[in-house]
Amino acid sequence: MEVIIRDTREKAVSLTASLIARALVKKPNLVLGLATGRTMESVYQLLVAMYEDDGLDFSLARTFNLDEYVGLPPEDPNSYRFYMNRHLFHRVNIDLRNTHLPDGMAEDIEAECRNYEEKIVDCNGIDLQLLGIGRTGHIGFNEPLSAMRSRTRPKALSPETVAQNAPLFTGETPMPRRAITMGVGTILECRRCILLATGKEKAEVIAKAVEGPVTAMISATALQLHPNCTVIVDAEAGSLLQNQDYYRWIFENEPDWQQYH
């Protein structure tokens, strides 16, 4: 695991977007795993700007989102399909047929989960997975006690997650209490993952995820087992990390990171 601490939220977001763009340029048919949430909106805004200003090409890319609420149709403004269309898919030249999210309206949720796993396998796996982290330490909607080998499945949302996400819901639609999520095991099979976290409210959970013991109570700790994982945080989110000086030294001195200074 690499940990990169940037002084500001803007620098953390910019680095994340730059790494995604670089991967897409290097491999135009990149299989990209995507996340949602407030933190990611700025990442997608920068990627859209790179498409508009620099010609970043999404035409051959394929995407798989981490999760979707059970019971929300794609046209619901609170669904993650609607979110992705609004913030990225409808603003770049990606083929919508190559953008995949779990179907929260599927009659057979278990079958939908199996089909989602099969689609990922059909694309030869995910090349780069973008991740956020919830206050319970979840990646995707892998709430506490999610098995490290878990696969895409329906998951009941914790009270903490409901409290965190409910204010984002608009209109009269109540927040669902269940979601379909990639499993921890599914996420760990990606070839590279980038976790982005900003703000002081994420400091405690980042410290546990990065420097604490690996535990099913905090699914993000499983990323310590991944051979190619980069955690990018701003100064506030990284403020409780014990080895801050070491992480900062790596970014300032390792040749691979010089171009991002």
Tell me what pLDDT residue 168 has.
86
Alpha-carbon gap, residue 199 to 186, rounded angstroms: 27
Does 188 have pLDDT greater than 90?
Answer: yes
Region 224-241: mean pLDDT is 98
Name the one residue in this structure whose structure tokens are 């878990």: 150
Tell me what pLDDT residue 228 has.
98
Tell me what pLDDT residue 170 has.
85
pLDDT per residue over 83-109, tens digit each?
999 999 999 999 999 999 999 999 999
* pLDDT band of 256, cuts 50, 70, 90: confident
Alpha-carbon gap, residue 43 to 26, rounded angstroms: 19
pTM exceeds cut of 0.85: yes
pLDDT per residue over 27-50, tens digit each?
999 999 999 999 999 999 999 999
- Convert 87-125 to b/e letters by CB count within 10 Å (16 or more is b): bbbebbebeeebbbbbbbbbeebeebbeebbeebeebee
How would DSSP label each residue in 39-57? HHHHHHHHHHHHHHHH---
* pLDDT band of 171, cuts 50, 70, 90: confident
The backbone region for 225, taken as left when phi is positive above 0, alpha when psi lies in -120 to 50, beta otherwise, is alpha
Tell me what pLDDT residue 258 has.
84
Query: Quick one: DSSP state of residue 209?
Result: H
Q: pLDDT averaged over the chain?
A: 96
Q: Going from the N-terminus, what domains does the chain have, and what CATH number goes with each?
A: 2-260 (3.40.50.1360)
Tell me what pLDDT residue 48 has.
98
For residue 136, give every residue at least 6 positions away whose Cβ sits within 8 Å of its Cβ, in sequence order, or none: 143, 144, 158, 160, 161, 205, 218
pLDDT per residue over 52-86, tens digit each?
999 999 999 999 999 999 999 999 999 999 999 99
